[in-house]
């Protein structure tokens, strides 16, 4: 017999060799139908894999990330089987699950090109194969056997992957007529997959190397119930309407130019105003929390990033070095702000009485992303982080960490992000070599994050292996208006950079000590945050944030002079107003400006000119009656101030 410990610490005895599926059946038949995978001692397994020793387990359903991962990874294998049936000789790269579905990179060979028109036939074949109820069977083979199998199959991509694995046993998975190199886990059988949608086709270089062959990447998503697919299709239609690239163009917020370079956004006047409003808002909040603004250069000596460890970890993802013409010094376009902030801390001796030091900067950084990975504002090569670094004593750490959580709460309240989960990102429990610093410091940093999250009452999940190379972090995963999840906001605890940069303060014992560093970026990056915000709001921003708060629309040209007088007066009252003096009927102007989502529409005609008033309409609510120019200015400014005050006092 073996002892199985459940998440609530209940311990039950089972016969050795029992599977996760059998454990689920012992609890209830309903759970057995819904469970998709099992975590055994921190590793996700197949439900059918025998458990032979005492273990701590957790069963995963569709509601869990681990459940979806197993479901979509199994679906990638199902798609590969369908492709092999339809396109004999096809070769396969990698086929992982992703945040929403899965993909497989394939090489059809012989110049065969896959198009969107081919996807329905592949979907049909997948459904046919799913209904066969073929078992996903795991087997373990030697490295030589694995090489021999894929040599016979003439698949150079799998051979390359296998050649890089250590000697020993390698796991294969087979379902139906398809066998793949795979770590797993997978579903018990293909019949779990009830609904299928293949979304798109893209090009992807093998191993992300532009000098290697370009493969065809097929994206898809599957579900255990058809109604989930129907809901997904509705969500995707809504997502198309909210696509930040489409809205950004329509609202004239940003653009891209091949002459400037891929992944380098140009912020147009309205987009610049939107960014400025976000920055002003965060600076206002930060000031109340004791932050000081600093500004650092866009480049730095290469040795700065070697000291921090960023060059070793991310040098290949940075733009390559710039050399000075005479001295031969090497510089990099700044990939991170934190090393610069460490140098700012060092500029003078520090006492424990000076701490915490809180430096904030809207710092633009540059990272090389492959052209195939670029996507609107969500994946760019030049972006601005709302970065801040706090330097504190051990006694101050938890309190400072909780104050950063408060700032993130304020931002979520301001922008109506109501649903979110806090992800505690810790070290990989096995592969520790990718992290810098001592286990002792890592243990203290992880403990501080876990305790702070508990004390703030956060709804948390723990992800191992997701920590930064220098420290653990707390990442905030928000759900937008149509149910999609995004990572926004991060807080990281770092004992290692202060050590690498030799940061010190003199304690109350008159001895030198190392400060602890907190990295935080509530927005993350301005580019990605604006993209998410656009798609969350559909472009309808709160009054304090929207680039255009009011539009003045004269009924005819003879009222243009009065409209310009109103425009000048409102702008002088810090109201972001614009003039629509097109030679169009007023009904057309109202419709056009409502589509632009401008909150207040001001109509001026004979009556308004005579009485020195404004006729006001509110977006989505209709006529508000007449106001004087001063009354309207006071009304708008009060509404903005009330919005900001209620948010900051949250």
Q: Which residues are annotated as a binding site?
A: 338, 389, 519
Q: CA-CA distance, 515 to 343, in Å (whole number)? A: 13
Query: Which member of 107, 242, 275, 338 is catalytic?
Result: 338
Question: Taking the C-alpha atoms of 51, 431, 367 and 523 in order, what is their torsion angle to the nearest 10 degrees?
Answer: 60
Verify whether residue 273 is a known catalytic residue. Answer: no
**99 catalytic per annotation:** no
Supply 400's token pair. Answer: 């400072």
Structure tokens at 144: 């030589």
State the catalytic residue, choosing from 242, 427, 473, 528. 473
Residue 168, C-beta contacts closer than 8 angstroms, at least 6 positions apart: 142, 143
- Residue 433 CB neighbour total at 10 angstroms: 7
The residue whose two tokens read 């706090």 is 390
Residue with tokens 């890089």: 164
How many helices and strands (H and E) does the chain possess?
20, 33
Known active-site residue 387: yes
Catalytic residue list contains 396? no
Q: Which residue positions form the known binding site for Zn(2+)?
A: 338, 389, 519
Roughly how many angstroms between the first and final C-alpha of the chain, as a whole number? 54
* Active-site residue (options: 197, 367, 413, 565): 367
- Measured in degrees and rounded to the nearest 5, phi and psi for residue 51 equal -105, 120
Q: How many CB atoms lie within 10 A of CB 577?
A: 22
With the C-alpha atoms ordered 36, 40, 46, 49, is the resulting torsion angle positive or negative?
negative
Active site includes 262?
A: no
Quickly list DSSP for 346-385: TTS--BGGGPPEEEEEEEEEE----GGG-BTTTB-SEEEE
Return the SS3 of 92.
strand
Question: What DSSP element (H or E) covers 180?
Answer: strand 178-181
Kindly name the residue from 158, 389, 589, 596 that is annotated as catalytic: 389
Interatomic CA distance for residues 173 and 548, integer angstroms: 57
Whether 310 is a known active-site residue: answer no
Contacting residues for 611 by C-beta, under 8 A, at least 6 apart = 626
Residue appearing with tokens 């929390």: 289
Annotation says 182 is catalytic:
no
Catalytic residue among 350, 519, 528, 589: 519
Q: Nearest-CA neighbor of 547 among 591, 616, 598, 589?
A: 598
Which residues participate in catalysis according to the annotation?
A: 338, 367, 385, 387, 389, 473, 519
């Amino acid at each position: 017999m073996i002892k199985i410990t459940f998440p609530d610490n209940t311990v039950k005895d089972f016969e050795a060799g029992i599977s996760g599926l059998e454990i689920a059946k012992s609890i209830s038949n309903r759970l057995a139908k819904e469970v998709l995978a099992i975590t055994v001692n921190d590793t996700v397994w197949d439900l059918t894999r025998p458990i032979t020793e005492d273990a701590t387990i957790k069963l995963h359903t569709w509601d869990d990330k681990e459940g979806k991962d197993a479901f979509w990874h199994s679906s990638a294998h199902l798609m590969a089987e369908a492709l092999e049936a339809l396109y004999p000789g096809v070769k396969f790269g990698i086929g992982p699950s992703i945040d929403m579905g899965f993909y497989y990179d394939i090489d059809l060979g012989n110049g065969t090109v896959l198009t969107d028109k081919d996807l329905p036939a592949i979907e049909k074949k997948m459904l046919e194969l799913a209904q066969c109820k073929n078992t996903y069977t795991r087997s373990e083979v030697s490295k030589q056997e694995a090489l021999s199998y894929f040599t016979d199959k003439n698949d150079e991509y799998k051979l390359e992957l296998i050649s890089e694995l250590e000697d020993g046993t390698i796991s294969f998975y087979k379902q139906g007529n398809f066998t793949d190199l795979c770590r797993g886990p997978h579903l018990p059988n293909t019949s779990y997959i009830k609904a299928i949608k293949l979304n798109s086709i893209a090009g992807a270089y093998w191993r992300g190397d532009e000098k290697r062959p370009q493969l065809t990447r097929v994206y898809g998503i599957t579900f255990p119930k058809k109604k989930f697919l129907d809901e997904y299709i509705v969500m995707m239609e809504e997502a198309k309407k909210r696509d930040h690239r489409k809205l950004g163009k329509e609202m004239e917020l940003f653009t891209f130019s091949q002459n400037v370079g891929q992944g380098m956004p140009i912020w147009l006047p309205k987009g610049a105003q939107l960014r400025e409003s976000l920055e002003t808002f965060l600076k206002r909040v930060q000031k109340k929390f004791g932050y000081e603004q600093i500004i650092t250069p866009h480049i730095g000596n290469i040795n700065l990033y070697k000291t921090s460890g960023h060059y070793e970890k991310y040098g290949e993802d940075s733009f390559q070095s710039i050399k000075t013409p005479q001295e031969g010094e090497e510089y990099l376009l700044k990939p991170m702000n934190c090393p610069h902030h460490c140098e700012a801390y060092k500029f003078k001796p520090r006492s424990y009485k000076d701490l915490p030091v809180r430096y904030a900067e809207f710092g633009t950084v540059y990272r090389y992303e492959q052209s195939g990975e670029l996507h609107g504002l969500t994946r760019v090569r030049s972006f601005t982080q709302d970065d801040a670094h706090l330097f504190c004593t051990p006694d101050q750490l938890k309190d400072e960490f909780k104050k950063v959580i408060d700032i993130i709460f304020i931002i979520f309240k301001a922008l109506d992000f109501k649903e979110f989960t806090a992800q505690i990102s810790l070290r990989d429990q096995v592969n520790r070599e990718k992290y810098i610093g001592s286990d002792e410091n890592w243990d203290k940093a992880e403990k501080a994050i876990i305790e702070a999250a508990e004390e703030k009452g956060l709804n948390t999940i723990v992800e191992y292996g997701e920590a930064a190379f220098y420290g653990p972090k707390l990442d905030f995963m928000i759900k937008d208006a149509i149910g999609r999840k995004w990572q926004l906001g991060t807080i990281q605890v770092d004992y290692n950079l202060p050590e690498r940069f030799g940061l010190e303060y003199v304690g109350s014992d008159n001895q030198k000590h190392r400060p602890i560093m907190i990295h935080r970026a509530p927005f993350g990056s301005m580019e990605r945050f604006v993209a998410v915000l656009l798609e969350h709001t559909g472009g309808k921003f709160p009054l304090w944030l929207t680039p255009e708060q009011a539009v003045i629309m004269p009924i005819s040209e003879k009222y243009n002079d009065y409209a310009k007088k109103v425009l000048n007066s409102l702008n002088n009252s810090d109201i972001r107003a614009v003039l629509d003096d097109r030679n169009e009927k007023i009904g057309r102007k109202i419709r056009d400006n409502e589509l632009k989502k401008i909150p207040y529409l001001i109509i001026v005609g004979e009556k308004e000119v005579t009485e020195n008033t404004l006729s006001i309409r509110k977006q989505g609510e209709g006529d508000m009656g007449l106001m004087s120019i001063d009354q309207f200015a006071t009304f708008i400014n009060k509404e903005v101030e009330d919005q900001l005050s209620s948010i900051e006092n949250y």
